Structure 1
Amino acid sequence: MPRITPVDYRILLKIFQMFGCIYKRKKGSHHILNYPGAKRAVVIPEYEEVDVEIIKNNMRTVGMTRDQYFELLKQAHWEPTPGGFRFRRELSRTV
């Protein structure tokens, strides 16, 4: 299985919404999502490369497995490369 690598915040928003998170609000440069049954909110900062630890903590919060993450990452139009993942088409600026 490939390593989890830093990805753009727009892709993470798409992945977590596809998993079932509900977008609640934005405060400053942070997007807040809720997941039914989670004890806390999922917070995604507006970074071009969100750190792996932030991704893993948010995955743990909603109970997402690595397999589920990589499947959703593929559905979000990323493809594996030797150095991690690469976007297959231009990112949409609408979030």
Structure 2
Amino acid sequence: MVTKKMVTVAALVVGSLVGLATAASASVSDASAQSPQVRAATDVRPAAVYGPFASFEVCWVAGNQGQQAGSWKSFFCAQNGTTSWWLFTTP
């Protein structure tokens, strides 16, 4: 069951990631000078957030199983100021 607190934490995490990506792309003065790999790296946004998980290991296993099944391309686990772990995936 998704609680209001879980949604708030997920929104804060996604907002932080968007802010980091924006700062990274703004640090390059000319966007046309970026290589395709750099542009792709700054355009990646988490597709979904799953959790909470009790430990990093449980989060990582869930992420790895989803990646092996082809549900997402990549994933990472983060706490983001909470005691729970959250799984972030990219398409």
**TM-score, length of structure 2 as denominator length:** 0.28
Name the structure where helix makes up a greater proportion of residues. Answer: 2
**TM-score, length of structure 1 as denominator length:** 0.28
Bigger-Rg structure (1/2):
2
